[in-house]
Amino acid sequence: MILQSLFEHNLCIRCTGRVFANVDTGMTNLDRGRSLLFAYKSLYGNAREVDKCWLCNNIFDQFDKYYGMVNDRTAEYEYDSFLIGSKFDKDLLISEETLQNDYGSKGESIKKEFNREFGKYFALRSGKDHSKDPDIAIHINTIYDNVELVIKSLYVYGKYIKKRRDIPQTRWIHGSGESIESIIGDELIKMTTSENYHLHGAGREDVDVMMLGNGREFVIEAVNPKIRNIDLDKFKEAVNSSGKDIFISDLAFCTKSTVKEIKESKYDKVYFAEIESKNSIDEQRFREAAGKLVGIEISQRTPIRVIGNRSDIIRKKEIKYINIDSIGYNTAIIKVCAESGTYIKELVNGDEGRTVPSLSSMYGDKLYIKSLDVININRGD
């Protein structure tokens, strides 16, 4: 009786088989439907096979049409992998679920089968790879017969050196003004024909601080790129020869996860600092003050100069060493190795008591940073 009632629903063979999609493996829903039809004929005689299925509307016979639609929509994009998604009428999906519930809820939705079977078909014809992390996610709206795309960003890892004191790492509000991000990103847009870009840095240096030595890690992200297979050597050369005093190296394609990895990295940094005082510097007192800071934990409340952009919290940091290169009349040249996230300017000037202790408080007089450079990030490279 159950078999008879199943065929009274006037479903096509595939939709009939899909009612029991989860009963066994190694079969397609078309195979299941044919087996059910054979059993019906064996017991009850011939069954009427429908020409037009009310449930699927014969959509599985229309793959050529959808292939053409997807091909037209993706024609301007370079990609190696894809993922198929779809949208079906909500009432239709509810009707199918209700029908399948009457037979033990052992089936799958038409949406799931369409995504799988059209994905196989598209891979075979296009030569592209099906992937759960695709270059392009293809969403087919079967209600209105249109195709929408979600393009995965292209990510390139690298390191940058900044040999100037007048440029920020990222773009200011509304993307105006030159920045490290814009210098690198503008070249990336040219090569990828992307819509936008974002620079993700492993920390940042102040506008007036040079980034030298082994460079700062970054990932540059191209948003909605049309070209993915770019020549990284040409990309590097375009940035490095721009005359902007920004130089990139060690470029490699990477994934979004690399952004998180570099942002969470914590490396000691070495700084070259020129310090000045309004008065002559007492060399012995200065050396003693610097020595007292090494190896102890300092407390740094978020600096006054950045408090509008960052949470007002207290950070505990360790100064690994301070080497004094030279001391003049009212200037001193030092190298400082400090824990990641240490504010070096405030370590020197004290920031009105927000950094405790500071070089100024240990010395007993006000000291200021005249110039500051990052000369190494201790990554072990």
Distances (CA, A) of 112 to 71, 116, 119: 21, 6, 11
pLDDT of residue 48: 77
**Both 277 and 314 in a single domain?**
yes
CATH of residue 233's domain is 3.30.70.2510
Burial class (CB in 10 A: 0-12, 13-18, 19+), 137: middle
| Over residues 13-34, mean pLDDT | 95
Contact 351, 358 (CB under 8 A): yes
**Both 94 and 43 in a single domain?**
yes
**Both 142 and 161 in a single domain?**
no
pLDDT of residue 347: 98
Which tokens in the block code for residue 111? Answer: 């949406």
Judged by DSSP in three states, 171 sits in: coil
176: pLDDT confidence band, cut at 50, 70 and 90?
A: low
- Report the percent of the chain where pLDDT is more than 90: 91
Query: What's the distance, CA 170 to chain centroid?
Result: 16
Amino acid found at 215: G
Residue 174 scores a pLDDT above 70: no
The per-residue pLDDT for range 86-128, each reduced to its tens digit, is: 999 999 999 999 999 999 999 999 999 999 999 999 999 999 9
Contact 187, 246 (CB under 8 A): no
175: pLDDT confidence band, cut at 50, 70 and 90?
A: low
**Both 275 and 259 in a single domain?**
no
The per-residue pLDDT for range 59-93, each reduced to its tens digit, is: 999 999 999 999 999 999 999 999 999 999 999 99
CATH of residue 325's domain is 3.30.70.3190
Residue 309 scores a pLDDT above 90: no
User: Which of the listed residues 124, 151, 178 is the one where a domain comes to its end?
Assistant: 151
Considering the candidates 31, 186, 206, 365, report the single residue annotated as catalytic: 206
Q: Is 351 among the residues known to form the active site?
A: no
**Both 126 and 28 in a single domain?**
yes
Distances (CA, A) of 318 to 15, 107, 117, 204: 68, 61, 59, 19
307: pLDDT confidence band, cut at 50, 70 and 90?
A: confident
CATH of residue 16's domain is 3.30.2300.10
pLDDT of residue 322: 98
- What is the domain range of residue 171? 154-264
- The model's pTM: 0.90
**Both 132 and 161 in a single domain?**
no
Beta strands, E only, 164-268: 196-201, 210-223, 246-254
Handedness of CA 59, 65, 69, 75 (dihedral sign): positive
Q: Is the bond into 168 cis (omega within 30 degrees of 0)?
A: no
| Per-residue DSSP letter, 174 | G
pLDDT of residue 311: 86
Query: What's the distance, CA 340 to chain centroid?
Result: 23
**Both 347 and 294 in a single domain?**
yes
**Both 131 and 8 in a single domain?**
yes
d(C-alpha 147, C-alpha 135), whole Å:
16
Our count of domains for the chain comes to: 3
**Both 9 and 141 in a single domain?**
yes
Beta strands, E only, the chain: 81-87, 129-130, 136-141, 146-151, 154-162, 196-201, 210-223, 246-254, 269-276, 297-301, 314-327, 331-338, 355-356, 368-377
User: Which of the listed residues 125, 151, 177 is the one where a domain comes to its end?
Assistant: 151
- Mean pLDDT, the chain, integer: 95
The per-residue pLDDT for range 210-254, each reduced to its tens digit, is: 999 999 999 999 999 999 999 999 999 999 999 999 999 999 999
**Both 227 and 274 in a single domain?**
no
Residue 173 scores a pLDDT above 60: no
Between 311 and 85, the more confident residue is 85
pLDDT of residue 177: 81
User: Which of the listed residues 243, 264, 285 is the one where a domain comes to its end?
Assistant: 264
The per-residue pLDDT for range 258-269, each reduced to its tens digit, is: 999 999 999 999
**Both 323 and 281 in a single domain?**
yes
Distances (CA, A) of 373 to 174, 246, 248, 332, 335: 28, 14, 17, 14, 10
**Both 143 and 14 in a single domain?**
yes
